[in-house]
Structures are given as C-alpha cells and as structure tokens.
Structure 1
C-alpha cells in the first residue's frame, strides 16, 4: 500500500465513521452494534452501566477490536478497521472532552442533568483508535446468529383474530 493509498484509506475510515450512526464492534466475543461519536481521530463509545448499551467483551486498555462501519442509508458495510482500545479514566481531561461530545448525541437519556455523573460513576467510556483499514471485502456474507437475549416473541395470533377485529370496527 502506497502512502497515498494509506491516506485515502484513513480518510475513508474517518468520514464513514463520522457519518454512520452505528458501528459493529468486536472485542473477544461476538460483534455488537454500538452508537458512537467520532472525536479527535477515534470512535468513542459509552456503555456497561445502567440504561446504557452493553459493550462487547474484551474492550480493555491495550486490547484490540475489530470495527465494521455500515452505510447510514443502505445499512451495508462500507469499511472495516482494526482499533487499539483505550478505556478513558473518569473525570480526566480526555474523558471530559469525549463525554461532552457523547452527551450531545445521547438520545432519550432519562436523566439528562445527571448524565455525566452517572457515566463517571457507573459506566465506561472507551476510545477506539484506528490502526489499519481492511480494504479487501470478504467473500462471504459475515451473517451471524443473533445473540442470546431474554426478550421473547409472543405467541402467534389466532387465525380468527382479523375477523374479530373487523367485527368490532363494524359495530362502532
């Protein structure tokens, strides 16, 4: 890879990550979909606390992560890149700057006034610094089985339900 190719690849990683609202991040376990912000040359995530997204297994300072960036409009894979993980120390200068960006993107926070305090006390803020983009797309689909969850699907609706609902509408 030439120097120009490396610069173009880094620019692709930055622009795609900035514009995408969702990343797929894999540490040592399965990949998870994560909301993020792009801040000072890295993707920053918050999670592992009450009311926040669960972070993938194995995201510790000095470890490696694989990040896949999806298209915001079509949902397809744009680029994948390797990252060095850094867990930011709560209330440090780096942490404060990252949390200021994250707070602006956090939707539907139940406690907007105490958000940064909750993150400092009970959550982890993780910085994923890009190392190298993977420019070759895989041959396979990369589809994986859904992660186990406690959420369940209710039983299927009875066959007569549509007729019952239509009768009720007719009576009104």
Structure 2
C-alpha cells in the first residue's frame, strides 16, 4: 500500500487534507523527500488547523479524477533555519504555479509569513468507504441572480384585446 501512496503522491498536484474532524480542504502540494509539502498562511492557501496539528488525513485522486487512496499523515513543520528548509523549500517554490517573483523571492516570502508543513504517511491507508462520501454544500451568503427567460418575439400583454 505504501507504493500506491507514493505513486499517487508523486503525480498529485493537489490533495484533500482533513485536520481534527474538520471538512477536508483542497490544497496544492508537492511530493518531496518522501512526504507531501503544503504551504499555508498569509498570501497562500488557508488550511484550517494544519499549523497546530500533529496528524491529518490525506486523500489523493487518480488519473480518472476520483479518489484513489486515503492515508493518515504525521504533520511536522519545516522552519526557515532547518536543514530541510534549505533542501526542500527551493524545490517547492519552483513547483509553485503563478508564484509572485522567482523561487528565491517566494521562499523568502514564505519564511516571513507562511508555514510549510510536511505530511509524512503514517501507517496503513484507510479502507475505501462503501458510500459516495458526498456532503451537502456548505452554507454561504452568496447568491446568484436568476436569468430572465429568453423570448424570441415580443409577448403582448394579457390586458389587451386579442381580437385587434
């Protein structure tokens, strides 16, 4: 099963990460050094609870778009002065799409205001559920104004006499 996790993670650009019973959040990530690296914080993606977490549940999708594997992960933080920071963060910054500036500028910005988390697979992957795991949409104040119905010809008012 570890081979499946590694192979899926190598191909993954995004993962679903659930922390502390919260709903899973879609995050961009990169597989480096035997773990998924995730950047969160100001100016980057929000992953509620990941900064304080010691464990998370990660789901990865396959080539067909559906979930292929879900596994528990041990969460550790990579600090800017660490040896792991110098080894992995420049590579991670190079993989970041639409990053402001170059990889060095991005890594410096992350050191100032973001947290780089390392999600290392811990234990066996979870069994795939029998149901769809579909959840109702989360409540939101956002609304959409309905479109007016399409009319090809002008419709005469009902108050007019149809014999005219």
> What TM-score, normalized by structure 2, do the two folds share?
0.81
Over 3 Å counting, the alpha-carbon distance change for 1:141 and 1:116 in structure 2 is same
Residue aligning to 1:126: 117
User: 74-83 or 119-128: which moved more?
Assistant: 74-83
Tell me if 1:141 matches 2:122. Answer: no
- Give runs of aligned pairs for residues 1-172 of structure 1, distance below 5 A: 9-28=1-20, 29-50=22-43, 52-60=44-52, 63-71=54-62, 73-112=63-102, 114-134=105-125, 136-147=127-138, 152-160=142-150
Please tell me whether Structure 1 or Structure 2 has the larger radius of gyration of its CA atoms: 2
> What TM-score, normalized by structure 1, do the two folds share?
0.78
Matched residue count: 151
Over 3 Å counting, the alpha-carbon distance change for 1:115 and 1:148 in structure 2 is farther
SS of corresponding position for 2:93: helix
Q: Deviations over 1:21-57 (max 9, x none)?
A: 211101112110111111111111001121x111232
Separation in 2 of the partners of 1:23 and 1:107? 15
Structure 1: state its 5+ residue gaps.
Answer: 1-8, 165-172
SS of corresponding position for 1:132: coil
Instruction: Name the structure with the higher helix share.
Output: 1
Structure 2: state its 5+ residue gaps.
Answer: 154-164
Separation in 2 of the partners of 1:122 and 1:40? 23
RMSD over aligned Cα atoms = 2.2
